[in-house]
Amino acid sequence: NSFVTRTNTCGELRSAHVGQKVTLYGWIQYQRQGLFLVLRDFQGLTQVVIPQDEAHSHVKELLSNAPVESVVRVTGTVSRRPLGQQNPKMPTGDIEVKAEAAEILNSCKKLPFEIKDFIKKSEALRMQYRYLDLRSSRLQSSLRLRSRVVMRMREYLCNLHGFVDVETPTLFKRTPGGAKEFLVPSREAGKFYSLPQSPQQFKQLLMVGGLDRYFQVARCYRDEGSRPDRQPEFTQIDIEMSFVDQAGIQRLIEGLLQHSWPEERGSIMTPFPSMTYEEALAEYGTDKPDTRFGMKIVDISDVLRGSNIHFVQNALSYPHGSIRAICIPQGVRYLKNKGLESLKESAKSQFNQEIMEIIRRPDGSLKSLLTKFLGEKEQSELIQALNMEEGDVMLLAAGEHKQVCSALGALRLLSADLLEAAGLALRDPTAFHFLWVVDFPLFLPKAENPTELESAHHPFTAPHPSDASLLYSDPTKVRSQHYDLVLNGNEVGGGSIRIHSAEQQRFVLEKVLKEDSEVLSHLIEALEFGAPPHGGIALGLDRLISLIVDAPSIRDVIAFPKSFRGRDLMGNAPDYVTPEELEPYHIQVSWPLEEKEAKKN
């Protein structure tokens, strides 16, 4: 209540305040028949009794006729609620304020939706009237928790560990590789700035400049189009250190999260478990495994190697051929035939992968199109390999190792969704399972042209020390010093030890990635002036907070998010500008034909 004219907030009055005269400010959440109203502010709710005597008739008229969500000031005396009228669900439920004076500070017109968490409203409407949606207790709580977490992170990094908070430029130039960047026109004809997708180059240059430890709550920009649960502008906790190795960064982040973790979400245990990229792909079919539940992928190649099943033998004849399976617990009961068919169709449409199911009957025997090709020994080994119980369903896939694992990894998550929708508790919504994924490949084949390579992380990532020589002879086999932090199957952070040799950086750009190194000449030159070994990481703040509060989307933890299509529905941005406004930037808009016709009409 410092610096303001209220005496108390609407969430703090208790029995100890009985008899005190108070002044409250807030929004009218509810009003009942001119007898009482509920006043709301950022901290909570207080019941206000509307006076019924003649002496306060003007107060009664004022408060009885004020529309819901109007802003009012109320002065009155705190009193105990009559016996039997206490509300244990409200922190202020033992008291009420008997109004003696009131003022309508701003009346509210008809609302587009009610300000109540349980009222369903479309996301488009919520975003159009975001300033009203922000009044909901759910959004208020999420934004305040986000603020507390960031403050604790600053405290840990700057006060306890000597990091320097540095703002880096928003207007910069294009970075080769990575996500597509937004362009900003300049007054120099044909020249454009780019909005940085991260402060990557600047934080490395700060290390060259001798700052030793850098940190920033950084705004980042990616022109990724219509991607679900992504935002064109987002926030990272951006970190870089000199003279550090991978283990040092990991210990820092574990300590940072432990220090800033909200008490009401329980505690998190450190150190976080770690697994290699190859292990993650082999056991979970993804580089961001959800380790809250089992159903791991199991290699059954050796079990079926001696079988006469044609597609099995065909798969094993290839260099990277593999037979793998997952076991769905109580799949017969919870999935039914419809669920199993949807899983098989999903594998076919997404991965072009055929799936065979094997069911363990109540008598312990196996039911499948494959069983006639399998002897008792093979059937027994299959049951043992996947720990199959009666009523479990095995999904089997054969083919190229990575494709098979990716398909089964996707089916593992789809199966979990189906099982939980049918009533089987599988993933604890209150559990937080952190995991480090390490030893990623340094380069991956480009999807559009597999003969060319692209960086798995970004072009500044250093090769694994054990694989450094392979960089020049067989770059496809080089592992990187890149590490991802995963939480409940979501990537919440990623970083790497950087290349600090100008010669190595130039080789990666020019010879491996076939990029024009001239675009990064400033960074390469900086590396020639005594750059220290350095590394860092960035945590995705929006994603992290959304997981902590169990929000359905990252849009629910951002004050003013963009829509699925990257639009601001409240301010109607992006918007048109006039030719006169474009003239200083030497730009003309070339309208598609249908839009030209629409403009004419």
In the chain the domains, ranked by start, together with CATH numbers, are 15-106 (2.40.50.140), 140-274+434-556 (3.30.930.10), 293-422 (3.30.1360.30)
Q: Considering only CA atoms, which of 391, 403, 340, 402 is closest in space to residue 365?
A: 391
> What is the rounded distance in angstroms from the CA atom of residue 468 to the CA atom of residue 456?
16
Strand blocks (E) in 266-351: 274-276, 298-299, 321-328
Give pLDDT, residue 229. Answer: 75
Please write the tens of the pLDDT for every residue from 92-101: 999 999 999 9
Residues 6+ apart with CB under 8 A from 454: 177, 443, 444, 445, 446, 513
Helix or strand or coil: residue 122? Answer: coil
Give pLDDT, residue 121. Answer: 84
> H or E element: which one contains 239?
strand 233-242
Q: Output the DSSP codes for 467-492.
A: GTTHHHH-GGG-BBSEEEEEETTEEE
Residue listed under structure tokens 């001798």: 210
pLDDT band for 524, please (50, 70, 90 cuts): very high
Give pLDDT, residue 421. Answer: 94
pLDDT band for 308, please (50, 70, 90 cuts): confident
Give pLDDT, residue 25. Answer: 98
Q: Considering only CA atoms, which of 534, 449, 511, 584 is closest in space to residue 209?
A: 534
Give pLDDT, residue 332. Answer: 93
Give pLDDT, residue 174. Answer: 84
> What is the rounded distance in angstroms from the CA atom of residue 195 to the CA atom of residue 187?
16
Give pLDDT, residue 224. Answer: 81
> What is the rounded distance in angstroms from the CA atom of residue 145 to the CA atom of residue 194?
32
Mean pLDDT computed over 256-275: 97
Please write the tens of the pLDDT for every residue from 500-518: 999 999 999 999 999 999 9
Least confident of 146-155, 402-411, 564-573: 564-573
Please write the tens of the pLDDT for every residue from 27-40: 999 999 999 999 99
Mean pLDDT computed over 413-419: 97
* Bridge partners (DSSP) listed for residue 98: 49, 77
pLDDT band for 230, please (50, 70, 90 cuts): confident
Residue 178 has pLDDT above 70, yes or no: no
Whether the upstream peptide bond of residue 271 has omega within 30° of 0, thus cis, is yes
Give pLDDT, residue 272. Answer: 98
Is the Cβ–Cβ distance between 495 and 256 less than 8 Å?
Answer: no
